Structures are given as C-alpha cells and as structure tokens.
Amino acid sequence: MHDATALAAAIADGHTTARRVMDASLVACEAQAALGAVVHLNTAMAQEQASLADRHDRDQRGPFHGVPFLMKDLGATAKGLPASAGASALRTIAAAPKADSDLAAAFRSAGLIPFGLSATPPFGLALSTEPEGLPPARNPWDQDRTPGGSSGGAAAAVAAGVVAMAHATDAAGSIRVPAACCGLAGLKPSRGAVPGGPDFSNHLMGIASELVLARSVRDIATLFAHVHDRPPPATWPESIRIGLALPDRCDAPQTAGARAAGQVLADAGCIVVTIPAPDQLGAEAHCIARKILSVSLAEWLAILDIPDEAVPALAARTAAEGRAMSGMDVFALSRDVARISGLAHALFDNIDAVLTPVLATHPPDVGAFDLTTPDTDAHFAQMEAFAPNAALANVAGLPAFALPFGMADGLPFGVQLMAAKGGDDLLCLLASLIEARAPTLRYPGPVAGMPR
C-alpha cells in the first residue's frame, strides 16, 4: 500500500531518506502546480527539517518520521507557515508563526514535517476550493471538477501524490467532502478529541474538528491514536450494529455504494439494518452551523479590522448576518448545540454506527460554488444539497469517517460512518473492515519519494 505508513517504513528501513523524500515532494509541488493544491512553500525550512530528521535518534522517532506534510491554510498553525484562510485581505498581513499550535506540535511529534500550506476557499466558506486571487484547486481525477472543500487543496495534494498525508479541518463537512471527491480517507474526530490550543481560534463553539486526509485507514488510525493520546478499547461488542441511512437526495451511484459497504460489514459479522435518514436533525444542524460560521466570521473581520469591501461578496454578506445577531441570539446557539447533541446521541440507542453516502452526487465543476454572490441562502442550500446532513456530526460533536468505496464514471465515491461521541476508534475499526473489501483505487499519481 502506497501511503504515509509505507513511506515512513521506507525511511526507517534505509531504503530512502527524509531529505530525499522531501526533495521529491518539493519537485512534485512544482510539477503539479496546475492543480492549485499548494499555496505556500517554505523550501529552506523543508530541507533543513528533513536533514535534521535523518540525524534524529532512532529510538525517539514517531510513527511517521520523515514524512513531508502540508498544513491547511486555515485552522491550526505551524511554525514558519503564514496562514491566510484563502483570503487576499489576510494574505497581505499574515505573519509566519514563531511556534506551533498544539495540534501542529502533535503532528511534528508523530514525525511529520510541515513544509507548506494547502489551498482553501476564502474563510473556508465553500465545499469547493478556490482561494481568492490564486488559481482554483482541481481534482486530480478530473481537473475540470472540484476536489471539494474546504480542505480541497489537501485532498488534491494527497490524491495526486504530492504528499502522502495532509492536515484538514471540518466545521460542516470539510474533511469528509474532499475525501469523497478525491478517493481518500478522512476522520472528523469527536468534539475535543484532538488538541485545539493554545488559542482555540478554530473552535467555532465546538463544531470544528481537525485531523488529516490520507490514502489509508491505517494512516488515520495511527495518527489519531498519537494525537488523541488515549488507547482504544480492549474489546468490542460481539455484534456491532450498523444503521444504513440513505437520504432521498443521493443519486444511484452514491446509494449503491453505501448499500455495498453495508453488505461488506454484514459479511464481516456486523448486524446491518436500514434506518430513516436523519434529515430533520441534519437540516437543523445545518442552520445552526451557518449561524455559528456567520458570527465567527463577523468577529474575525472585526478583530483584524478588515472592512466588508475587502472580502468576497459572499463573505461580506455572511459576516453581516453574524453582526445582525444579538447577544441573546448567540447565547441561544449554545443551547441549540446542546439540544442537537442530545437528540443525535439518541440515534445510537439501538445501533453502534450509522452508514451513509457522503455526497448526493459526483463533485461539480470548478466554479460551481460562487463566492462572488451575496446570495447566502442559495449558497448554503447548495452546500447542504451536495453533502446531505454533513453538519450533523459537527453540531452534535460526533466522529464521522469518510472513505472511498469504488469508482463510477471515472470518479471515486465515498461512504461515511458516524458514531456516538467518543466512538472514533470504533469507526477506525469499521472503516478498516470496509477498506479491506473495497474496490482498489489506482490514484492519479504515486506518492512523491516512495521507493519503487
């Protein structure tokens, strides 16, 4: 398997070096520039850190020692990489952090070497990835299509082989949607399961989570165990119960894929039953997430003293909606989050996990999500229609794992597993059962630096 685990093993076994792998990633960044996946590189830091990694004591190396790694241009920050959230107004004032965030430090302790930033839409406000003033990110499977968003640059880079693993964030599907668009694995962790400090700037009232996009379930499981710093359960239920939920909005390939994944779990010994899709809860969660994103963006622009005319029209209108909310409105959001969390917890009274499609259809063309429009109602409705009920896991604080399950019309498609809060390790187990029996994907490019 060509993934980050295999690349780290090749470095550990002496088949290559961290410096050679990093040089290969840097070359791949240039060769794959047309994908628009990478928006910032610190080449000198990359080479220096890779050379240091080759001299690191072997008994103090993390599980991904020497593996090149991209941070996202939004969320947790890493030393030397000035994030600007895909926005021109921030790009002009962004300064390189002098220290790692807690999550970046955890990534680094796992042996990963952050050396650049992956593309995101302005302020993460789309399920496509078209940073302001820069080329759009493109899907390596079909460059006319989007790789999803808002972690689309990360997804494009991993699917193309620029890196084997990349940082990603998820406040309304932004890990899981790009995973499904690009044939990758991605876990949106439970609320509070990974470090968010020291400033918790991407907390978003608890709806945002961060981890990575990768080519394998084992990469996700290993890194989650490292940053979560808590061992998985020693035992599992004798018969894991799966609820198969198929929203009417999902097209035939997405629905068929979820059914097939359900059969895989049944063949592996799980009890699979069909349940109603949680569409009402999903719709409520989507509205709550939209309000939280609005008030967050309003605060963000105010803190940085950025006027509305300096940001895309969609961002300006979204921020205006946030400013129009009263203190009582914002306080009510905390109660709404708690209410949805309680209702979502009840989904698991008689099942252990929910299996659904990730998307309603294949990824649309680049440009399908228009950030120049002030029509926020249409924009947020378009996002919810593309990724049905995606925000439920965010608002309820649930873990949700997206992974590929085959191809249709030349494009990969994904399925999603969701569990009760704290069920991240269960999802890793179930995802590994599906992955072992899923159709094999042949990625558009090999992982840079992987020995032949």
The answer to whether 64 and 11 have CB atoms below 8 angstroms apart is: no
The residue from 72, 79, 188, 291 that is catalytic is: 72
Alpha helices in 132-175 (DSSP H): 152-160
Whether 79 is a known active-site residue: answer no
Instruction: Report helix, strand or coil for 340.
Output: helix
* Cis preceding linkage at 198, omega within 30: yes
Q: Which residue from 413, 404, 358, 363 is spatially nearest to 144, judged by alpha carbons?
A: 363
The residue from 150, 209, 294, 432 that is catalytic is: 150
**Alpha carbons 239 and 258: distance in angstroms, whole number:** 20
Q: What angle do CA 365, 367, 373 make, to 5 degrees?
A: 140
Whether 118 is a known active-site residue: answer no
Q: Going by C-beta distance under 8 Å and a sequence separation of 6 or more, which residues neighbour residue 293?
A: 125, 171, 172, 204, 318, 322
Q: Which pairs with CB-CB distance under 8 Å and at least 24 residues apart come from 378-381?
A: 379/125, 379/126, 379/314, 380/286, 380/290
Whether 72 is a known active-site residue: answer yes
The residue from 174, 216, 294, 432 that is catalytic is: 174
Q: Which residues on adjacent β-strands are paired with residue 41?
A: 116
Query: Tokens 């996002």 map to which residue?
Result: 383
Instruction: State the catalytic residues.
Output: 72, 150, 174
